Structure 1
């Protein structure tokens, strides 16, 4: 496991990771703000057997659980450093997330104290 983690964090390993990231081999984020940004694999622990691999979205900075065939893969194969090193090396490839949705009527932003705003948030929470 340590050998794989060290390879992925080397320059040659990052070149392979970049190629796979551009192809979308790890999947893409379903959040509407991310516009389908591709995931990066990340391990939450470097100790083998503690946690499975997770998927990190470099746009919204969220961590997701992978689908069935990949959730059995040990996260120690990747380590915790991949997202930070990837973002520092290839920051120009990742788009900024779209701004959060603000409810508006005819372009006018609805104030949060408005009953229309409060009703909409209550209906959305149900």
Structure 2
């Protein structure tokens, strides 16, 4: 794990406000549009070389980037138009992001992300049946410029694309381990109810052999062993009872239509294959000629 001088908990908010001189580069960076998922990494964490071990080889302008991150003042408008500043800024953003991925799995980092989670700042699951479950940011890789940040839903345990500019952030700034360590640290935030699977139906009848991803996970127990006993798949009897009354009428109409088409095809086949037999069709009992009456059309 990473070093931290004070692991007892968060510093009191009043003391923190008194200790801070003003908004520095870190506060400015986290306040930019699209950076809502970031929390403010403590300077104490960034000044400890152990916490940044291995990052020097991944950042080209490491020393200049670290100096920029630790500045006590945000950049002004003139600096933001300077090409040299922007070159260092790109490395500073990468350095801060990689350090951020390490910070958010420390006790103080987890607590800071917990406050964002409770406020719903990470967004909600776009899956309708998850009932607006609050999500967590996750990266699919630890390497830079491999994949952008995604949203992990603790209920259905799937990942989704964030909305707007929030999805333009590199996923390495959060890492693939964060949401799972977060839910282990705060087990009370793990959803207790199992996700509701979507059941595809046609006229009220369930389609045979069709299962959603969530339903397959429930049957395999991927949401936990306790969910296997909670989940009760629907049987054939419940499917029939759930069918609406108008579906039977539709099936009867379709069946009568098919029977009429078959009778018409048989009559056309007789006319084309054997004209003499076709001429005697009306003379048969029950035929349309003398001594017989035409069969009444099927009642729909």
CA distance in 1 between counterparts of 2:164 and 2:127 reads 20
In 1, the alpha carbon distance for the partners of 2:196 and 2:166 equals: 31
Question: 2 CA distance for matches of 1:66 and 1:101?
Answer: 22
Please tell me whether Structure 1 or Structure 2 has the larger radius of gyration of its CA atoms. Answer: 2
How many Å apart are 1:24 and its aligned residue?
A: 0.4
Instruction: Choose from 29, 43, 60 the match for 2:156.
Output: 60
Q: Distance in 2 between matches of 1:109 and 1:32?
A: 24
Distance in 2 separating the partners of 1:73 and 1:97: 31
- Corresponding residue for residue 172 of structure 2: 76
Bigger mean CA deviation after superposition, 13-22 or 2-11: 2-11
Matches within 5 A, 1:91-110: 91-95=187-191, 96-100=193-197, 109-110=238-239
CA change 1:68–1:11 in 2 (3 A) is same
Aligned-pair CA distance for 1:9: 1.0
Aligned match of 2:281: none
The equivalent residue for 2:100 is: 4
Structure 1 unaligned segments of length 5 or more: list them.
Answer: 117-126
CA drift of 1:68 comes to 2.2
Contact 1:37 1:94 in 2 (8 A): no
Q: Distance in 2 between matches of 1:72 and 1:99?
A: 30
1:34 maps onto 2:130 in alignment: yes
Work out the CA distance in 1 between the residues paired with 2:151 and 2:98: 19
Corresponding residue SS for 1:71: helix
Shift of 1:97: 3.0
Could you say which residue in structure 2 is the equivalent of 1:122? none
* CA 1:65–1:30: 2 relative to 1, 3 Å: closer
Higher relative contact order (CA closer than 8 Å, sequence separation 6+): 1
Aligned residues: 111
Q: Is the 8 A contact 1:34 1:97 kept in 2?
A: no
The 8 Å contact of residues 7 and 13 in structure 1, kept in 2 or not, is answered as yes
TM-score by length of 1: 0.77
- Please point out which of 110, 117, 120 is paired with 1:14: 110
In the TM superposition, residue 101 of structure 1 has moved relative to its aligned partner by 5.0
4+ aligned runs moved over 4 Å, structure 1: 101-105
2:155–2:195 Cα contact (<8 Å) kept:
no
* Post-superposition CA distance 1:12-42 (Å, at most 9, x none): 0100111000100011013233221111000
